[in-house]
Structure 1
Amino acid sequence: MKAIRISLFLVFACLLTPLVNAAALPDFTELVEEASPAVVNISTVQKQGSQTLSTPFGQFQGPNGEEIPEIFRHFFREIPQFRDRPHRAPRSLGSGFIISHDGYILTNHHVIKDADQVMVRLNDRRELEAKVVGSDERTDVALLKIDADDLPVVRLGQSSELKVGEWVLAIGSPFGFDHSVTAGIVSATERALANENYVPFIQTDVAINPGNSGGPLFNLDGEVVGINSQIYTRSGGFMGLSFAIPIDMALEVSEQLKGQGFVERGWLGVLIQEVNRDLAESFGLKKPAGALVAKVMPDSPAAAAGLQEGDIILSFNDHSVVLSSDLPPLVGRIKPGESAEVVVIRDGRKKTLEVTIGRLPDEGSDGQPAAKKQPVETSRLGLVVAPLPEELKDKWSVRSGVIVEQVEEGAAARAGLVRGDVITMLNGERVETLEQFQRIVEELPAGRSVPLRVVRRGNPMFIALKPE
């Protein structure tokens, strides 16, 4: 009898387990029914600009047919066009969502970039031409407007409240399949991506494919918390890593686009780099943290506030700066003219500075002129150095330093110095002349890392140098 009872208990437990597991999983049906009407399909028509083949994963070939490698890919879709039909314009397919009853729509900048015409297909199958109110390439956000009233809208949430591990859901048009629904969890927040300085991305494992670009990312309350923007891929398709623009940032951008047609960002005026273990040791830090100031732009807010090259920024406006990538989004979201507090480590001590944030200027580029040959000097670091040519001072905005003519075997080679590097600071002391540089080198402690600042082809950086 006892054996029968145990058997019945085991059978009951086996039957109950799937039901318990099923009850623990979220039910997205009501969310999808409520939110889907406000999700739209976006197609664009643009002039044929080249003779290359457009693929379903976007255009990844150069003018001679060479492959253009792209790991982080925006995922909008282009209907294939072939070389024997050069006059037909490609139609790019993406997604978007309605944020106001009178027809304002959010999507990605890359979905509507260079478009001659933008068409929006609504949930009720109506197709309306949209006006591009404004578009911002740095954050990949675009604001559209269609001429319609009483439209369904999404509910907007707060991406700042997202937690790693919570469920999220995407609705979009992958490969043109309208209102496809996929779900997953938040894998990380405030994720920095290569060449994306101003967006702290939401990372998820939601299945995203070409055509999802610009579509909404929902939390379980049915609120939009992000705009699906990029995937990490080696094949061109989904590999489990997708990235969304936080809705808090997207709304700030859209308000500026709506009000003035462009976006103003805060500007500090510094070039920064990551603090690795060796650099942390050379600056006397217990652990790698912060943003190391490699260059202070002349006539910048940072220069006016007294920031110096070699400062390590630990916090900005009470927000901790753990990685150097944490700083640009924090600065960019401050309105020009407002004040901010910056906490730095300088000479091993904390210092608080107040800076009046400026307006981010347009991006430019520096030239890369060749240095003139000068009389050379050798040092015990395994370096042959020369006085800095005047033309490099102007081109690269370098006030003083010595230029590396040759790298021999030794500490400098192990640290990664190369010919053409301009040494501007060593062990916290600015380099002015060859004689001074030699003196600093002779006084360097043996067997301990010291910070060395170089300007390489116009780009400043710190290197940890460990003399023998």
Structure 2
Amino acid sequence: MPTRPFARGLLAATLGALAFLGAAHAWSHDGPCLDPSDSLSRGGDFVAAVRRQAPAVVRVLSIAPGTDWGGSDEVGMPARSLLESERSSASGFVVDADGYILTSAHVVLGGQETSVLVGGRHRWPAAVVGLDRRTDLALLKIAATNLPAAAIGSSASLCAGEWVAALGAPFGFEQSVTAGMVSANPRFLPGGSGEPLIQTDVALNPGNSGGPLLNKHGEVVGMNSMTYSASGRYTGVSFSLPIDTAMRIAAELRSTGRVTRGQIGARTQALTPDLALAFGLDAPLGALIVRVDADGPAAKAGLRSGDVVLSIDGSAAMPYAEIQQRVAAARPGASIMLDVWRRKAPLTVKLAVAEGVPDLPQRIASQDTREARLGLDLAERTAKQAGGPVEAGIYVRSTSGSARRAGLRLGDVILAVNDVGVSAINELDRALEATHQGETVALLVRRGSITSFVPVAPP
């Protein structure tokens, strides 16, 4: 669910590396969580919930320039999964019938081509309206109308112990459902962005990123985001972005194409009990300043490394994550008062909040849509050349355009075009010429021990 998660080097792996920091903090949850009524009556039955929301769940596919869109050759994986890359595939869900879709930002960040598969049948090119790496959320737009939109609930009253279910396409298996329960809400991760998350034990795997988390009433209460794992695979701890946060970010992206946050020009870390003792504090609350940006608001106000920001605007001492949230929520130009602990003595500092740098979609120039052989760069291998275990046939050397979108890659062997067998490049060319301009072509492809037809759609 790799900047988040699931891909190697993305946030799932990062979170696994941060596990040594110790247990993350969960805030107490008052009010509705104290009422256990209806907790068991319908908790384990998600049949109606899935039936209600499944039409709104989509699959998001993205291609980054210069990458090979190929999957791993794991034994037992179906041919369809082998011909698609989990690193460029995620889930999403429709939030507006006019074609607005939420998904994970890490999947579309830097993508040259992004498309959305609706209903498992119709593929639409998608534009990235905006994205936000802090919450790993992206808002997409496709040129479709009257789409089934997801029923949106609220994450504010979601309680630990409630049953929830995830709907998405792990490893490319579309419309897959996994269920579990809420472990904590909200949960703030050590070394994280300070955004609240929903922790569950729902199985999330590569491809689940961006899909909906449903409550027992069939409402979307979160967007599935990541696992807490070094490998990116499910290990029993999963996280989802609360839907209240997701919809607020989506509204801002739809309105302006960017998310505006405040910042004070200081890098901070959370206090551990031992650090609190070292700085003369009774409890590990507040934000410990590690570095101050030159000419930033913190530097101008006289803050320095080793100061501890205890609270904002005269409040009681705050958890680290709350301080991050309060600063981010402040409007640029607004003044705030920081209660600071310096050399075991309190002081108050006033500063003006600056605007954080927003995330903007990378605009990559589109390639020429004219393509030869559907974007396939091919080489022939005769029986004499093979001379061993490598079979004769038409081998794929590289892909671009339509072939790459379809998942073809280096080493694939082309056996047929629709129902016409081919063993040489000139035979493949004749078979392609016999098809109608602009129509989808089915190529019979062998990869390793698996052979299957792959649809290749021209742009």
With the shorter chain as reference, the TM-score category is: 0.5 to 0.7
Answer with 1 or 2: which has the greater Rg: 1
What is the match of residue 181 of structure 1?
A: 177
Q: Which residue matches 1:244?
A: 240
1:154 is paired with a residue whose SS is coil
| Change in 2 beyond 3 A, CA 1:304/1:155 | farther
Amino acid at match of 2:67: G
SS at match of 1:95: strand
Equivalent position amino acid for 1:230 in 2 = M
Q: Distance in 2 between matches of 1:90 and 1:221?
A: 30
From the superposition, tell whether residues 186 and 321 of structure 1 become closer, same or farther in structure 2 (CA, over 3 Å).
farther
Question: In the alignment, does 2:217 pair up with 1:221?
Answer: yes
Matched to 2:94, the amino acid is I
Q: How much has 1:242 moved relative to structure 2?
A: 0.9
- Residue 47 of structure 2 is aligned to residue 45 of structure 1: no
Q: Mark the CA change 1:352 to 1:137 in structure 2 (over 3 Å): closer, same or farther.
A: same
**Partner-residue secondary structure (3-state), 2:58:** strand
C-alpha separation between the residues in 2 aligned to 1:89 and 1:210?
A: 10
In structure 2, how many angstroms separate the alpha carbons of the residues matched to 1:21 and 1:345? Answer: 44
SS of the residue aligned with 1:237?
A: coil
Ranked by relative contact order (alpha carbons within 8 Å, sequence separation 6 or more), the top structure is 2
Q: Please give the per-residue CA displacement for 1:69-107, whole angstroms capped at 9, x wherever unaligned.
A: xxxxxxxxx9547xxxxxx99983211011112110000
Query: Would you say the 8 A contact 1:139–1:198 is kept in 2?
Result: no
**Structure 1 residues 321 and 102: CA distance shift in structure 2, 3 A:** farther
The aligned runs of 1:282-321 (5 Å cut-off) are: 282-305=278-301, 307-316=303-312
| Matched letter for residue 43 of structure 1 | L
Q: Residue in 1 aligned with 2:54? A: 36
Q: CA deviation at 1:167?
A: 2.1
Q: Report the secondary structure of 1:239's partner residue.
A: coil
For the aligned residue pairs, the C-alpha RMSD in angstroms reads 3.4
- Map 1:117-132 onto structure 2 (within 5 A): 117-123=113-119, 125-132=121-128
Matched residues in 2 for 1:334 and 1:212: separation? 33
Q: Distance in 1 between matches of 2:343 and 2:356?
A: 29
Query: Is the 1:46–1:89 Cα contact (8 Å) retained in structure 2?
Result: no
Change (3 A) 1:343 1:119: same
State the alpha-carbon separation in 2 of the partners of residues 37 and 142 from structure 1.
Answer: 20
Q: How does 1:291-370 map to 2 (within 5 A)?
A: 291-305=287-301, 307-316=303-312, 322-346=318-342, 348-361=344-357
Give the equivalent residue in structure 1 for 2:130: 134
1:55 corresponds to which of 53, 66, 72: 72
Whole-angstrom distance in 2 between the partners of 1:281 and 1:121 = 54
For the residue of structure 1 that corresponds to 2:126, the secondary structure is: strand
CA distance, structure 2, for counterparts of residue 198 and residue 22 of structure 1: 32
Consecutive unaligned residues of structure 1, counting only runs of 5 or more, are: 1-19, 58-77, 82-87, 364-468
Are the counterparts in 1 of residues 94 and 100 from structure 2 also a CA contact under 8 Å? yes
| Mean CA deviation greater in 254-263 or 145-154 | 254-263
Equivalences for 1:373-384 in 2 at 5 Å? none
| CA deviations over 1:42-75 (Å, ceiling 9, x no partner) | 222344436x974389xxxxxxxxxxxxxxxxxx
2:105 alignment partner in structure 1: 109
- Note if contact 2:191-2:269 (Cα within 8 Å) is conserved in structure 1: no
Tell me the CA shift for residue 198 of structure 1: 4.6
Whether 2:275 is the aligned partner of 1:257: answer no
- Listed as ranges, the matches of 1:189-200 within 5 Å are 189-193=185-189, 196-200=192-196
Deviation at 1:303, TM superposition (A): 3.7
CA distance 1:218–1:316, shift in 2 (3 Å): farther
CA distance 1:321–1:49, shift in 2 (3 Å): farther
| 2:281 is the alignment partner of 1:274 | no
Do the aligned residues in 1 keep the contact of 2:103 with 2:137 (CA within 8 Å)? yes
Corresponding position of 1:27: 45
Q: What amino acid sits opposite 1:130 in the alignment?
A: A
User: 1:91-136 deviations in whole A, cap 9, x for unaligned?
Assistant: 8321101111211000001222332222222237332221111222
Q: For 1:272 and 1:235, how far apart are their aligned partners in 2?
A: 28
Residue matched to 2:163: 167
Q: Deviation string for 1:332-357 (max 9, x for gaps)?
A: 23332234343333454554544331
Cα distance change on mapping 1:179 and 1:287 into 2, 3 Å: same
| Contact 1:290/1:321, CA 8 A, preserved across alignment | yes
Q: CA deviation at 1:213?
A: 1.0
1:3-43 Cα shifts (integer Å, max 9, x gaps)? xxxxxxxxxxxxxxxxx998574422222222221111122
Shift of 1:146: 1.1
TM-score w.r.t. the length of structure 2 is: 0.60
Q: CA offsets per residue over residues 405-455 of structure 1, 9 Å max, x none?
A: xxxxxxxxxxxxxxxxxxxxxxxxxxxxxxxxxxxxxxxxxxxxxxxxxxx
Post-superposition offset of 1:226 = 1.8
CA contact (8 A) 1:265 1:336 kept: yes
User: How big is each residue's C-alpha offset from its partner over 1:347-374, in whole Å with a ceiling of 9 and x where there is no partner?
Assistant: 54554544331112489xxxxxxxxxxx
Q: Which amino acid aligns with 1:264?
A: T
- Whether the 8 Å contact between 1:292 and 1:313 is mirrored in structure 2 is yes
Are the counterparts in 2 of residues 264 and 359 from structure 1 also a CA contact under 8 Å?
yes
Q: CA deviation at 1:255?
A: 2.6
Q: Give unmatched runs, 5+ long, in structure 2.
A: 1-37, 75-79, 360-459
CA distance in 2, matches of 1:79, 1:135: 27
The 5 A counterparts of 1:7-22 are none
Contact 1:56 1:79 in 2 (8 A): no
The secondary structure found in structure 2 opposite 1:160 is coil
Q: Distance in 1 between matches of 2:292 and 2:48?
A: 53
Q: Which amino acid aligns with 2:224?
A: N
